[in-house]
Chains A and B, each alone.
Chain A
Amino acid sequence: MKIVVCIKQVPDSADVKINPETNTLIREGVPSIINPFDMHAIEAGLQIRDKTGGDVAALTMGPPQAEGALREALSLGVNEAVLLSDRAFAGADTWATAYALAGAVKKLGADIILCGKQAIDGDTAQVGPEIAEFLDIPHVAYVRKIEEVKEGYIRVQRLMDEGYDIVESSLPVLLTVVKELNVPRMPSLKGKMAAKKAEIKKMNRDDIGIGEADLGLKGSPTQVKNIFAPEIKADRKMFEGSAEEQVKALVAEMRNIKCL
């Protein structure tokens, strides 16, 4: 089983400050950690590997200093660490990030791709599912338990607002995980010592073969206008008529409220 865990280095704080003028995160002076949800993804990868055999690669896209996060992943026991880094990646939104990561995953090859459910500095929860879409493979988000994994098959529990779903999938699959999934292990001293000396595999845009237009700021359709916690509206509307009429009405309504 080949497992790739996508990790992100984030500032060590749940309440990162935002520069009100540029609407971007202020990162200076905050120590970096592996995104906490990604720690659960790493743990899941290691547990699957320990059961089924194979190996786990940690993959991150980021500046050269993101190597720190990879060394930490190595100290926890991942077999390989890959740094996807290129000046051209700068300014990437979730779309461009996922596109680049998908390119790297394709190169590495994977049966299972694991991501945290979201990064605590952006909170979009988009990159995982987007990678799966770019790779054209199934994904299951908010995985809280992995029930069974075998050649070509996986069964997991997906956390829902009330209870959970049991989801089966073929492999390859991408899972995004929640913290209920496991308790991340502590690094070991031997792991830390080995991680200090380990070689980090480096990839740039040429290695993943992505053109200028799909990269970084240029490849990023998102424009951040304002950041706020969405208001939760729990309106309910019932449609009547034949199934066809109901679907038409539903689509029209979704267009109306700008969901489509």
Chain B
Amino acid sequence: MNYFLNEEQEMIRDLTRKIADEKIVPVRAELDEKEEFPREIMKVLAQSDLFGLFIPEEYGGLGKGSLELAIAIEELSRACLGVATSYSANALGFLPILLNGSEEQKKKYLPDIAAGKKLVAFALTEASAGSDAAGVQTTAVKEGNEYVLNGTKQWITNGGEAEINTVVAMTNKSKGTRGASMFVVEHGTKGFTYGKKENKLGIRASSTRELVFDNCRIPEENLISKEGMGFIIAMKTLDIARNGVGAQGVGVAQGALDASLDFAMERRQFGQAISSFQAIQHMLADMATQIEAARALVYAVARHIDAGEKEISKVSAMAKLFASDVAMKVTVDAVQIMGGSGYMKDYPVEKMMRDAKILQIYEGTNQIQRNVIGQALIKEGAKKK
């Protein structure tokens, strides 16, 4: 379908696809098998300026928007969702700095991030704070001109690989969600170590790790915005990033459709290609239709965000919810179309199916997305009265 992309957007798609086909597809099975972080691929993405897409030109980036980011994420996800997750989580990590950082913080961190010299992680989740982000126990106590952090973040994407971490910690527990603050913690800071590295069902090329803060002292300049702004910044960050999860869904689903379509046209049973069976054609038709609908929604939400619209929570939750459900359904169906072959590691679809599941869980489960959408609807309804 023609999405009226401009020449630069087409260029971003072409280049990302070229990298995906030439550098990612040949190694994705091995990265998955060995649960290996794709450092070499990250270098290629850096050299190609892809880490600078969403960062303004004055900080060394390309100054593009959500649509360009979605296109790049989609193409990476078509090849490997593990790689795409590492790339996307980087954006999730720098958004707090980009959205609410001071001029000094932006100047200090963004150019290296845009150049791909430093990777970023975003650390909100803890053992007691999953869907209920207000359960954060990590504390940040001001002592002189420093903050002292104590606590453990869990399941942090890019954990251990990132040079820069944006971390939510409580500066005033008695104030609940209004007592949380957002900090930058750099790799190598004393008192900051990495804990358990997870062994996962899917997106195994991405690193998911604990961040452990044990009397970790950081300078007060590392506070983003003001004390008490932590959750607001985190929610603003997620509002933008969630559409990227939608783009991941579109990409992995497209990859699965492509693989199963190729297979269906080759595989012969009962004297004919299985693609000649209506049962198979109808599955392919549904998959393609759902993917196109998801892509249309993700691109439309990206344009909505790029136009500077204020209300983005509801629509980005919709894009994440819909596209991730499509990704799950399409990847399961791709395995079904390919039968036993689909179940084997010789083909990429079993990995895509394992990978796709995460999209319904991270950056807020799909139940939580429905909560966000539902609450927005009720708010809108109340306004009309």
What are 30 inter-chain pairs, A to B, with CB distance below 8 A?
A185-B47, A186-B15, A186-B18, A186-B19, A186-B22, A186-B23, A186-B44, A186-B47, A186-B48, A187-B15, A188-B47, A188-B48, A188-B49, A189-B11, A189-B12, A189-B15, A189-B48, A189-B49, A189-B50, A189-B52, A189-B53, A189-B62, A190-B49, A190-B52, A190-B62, A191-B49, A192-B11, A192-B15, A193-B8, A193-B11
- Secondary structure at the B interface, as helix, strand, loop or mixed, is helix
| Contact code string A168-206 (vs B, CB < 8 Å = 1, else 0) | 000000000000000001111111110000000000000
Known: A188-B49, A193-B8. 6 other contacts (CB 8 A): A186-B15, A186-B18, A187-B15, A189-B12, A189-B49, A191-B49
Show the binding face of B for A, using Cβ within 8 Å.
8, 11-12, 15, 18-19, 22-23, 44, 47-50, 52-53, 62
Closest 7 CB pairs of A and B: A189-B49, A188-B49, A188-B48, A186-B48, A190-B49, A186-B44, A192-B11
Size category of the binding interface on chain A: under 10
Contacts of A185 on B, CB cut-off 8 Å?
A: 47
Bound-complex Cα distance A193 to B52 (A): 14
Show the binding face of A for B, using Cβ within 8 Å.
185-193
Contacts of A186 on B, CB cut-off 8 Å?
A: 15, 18-19, 22-23, 44, 47-48
Bound-complex Cα distance A190 to B22 (A): 20
Contacts of B23 on A, CB cut-off 8 Å?
A: 186
A193 and chain B: residue at smallest CB distance: B8
A191 and chain B: residue at smallest CB distance: B49
Chain B nearest CB from A254 CB (Å) reads: 45
Contacts of A192 on B, CB cut-off 8 Å?
A: 11, 15
Chain A nearest CB from B18 CB (Å) reads: 7
Chain B nearest CB from A36 CB (Å) reads: 12
Contacts of A188 on B, CB cut-off 8 Å?
A: 47-49
Contacts of A189 on B, CB cut-off 8 Å?
A: 11-12, 15, 48-50, 52-53, 62
Contacts of B62 on A, CB cut-off 8 Å?
A: 189-190
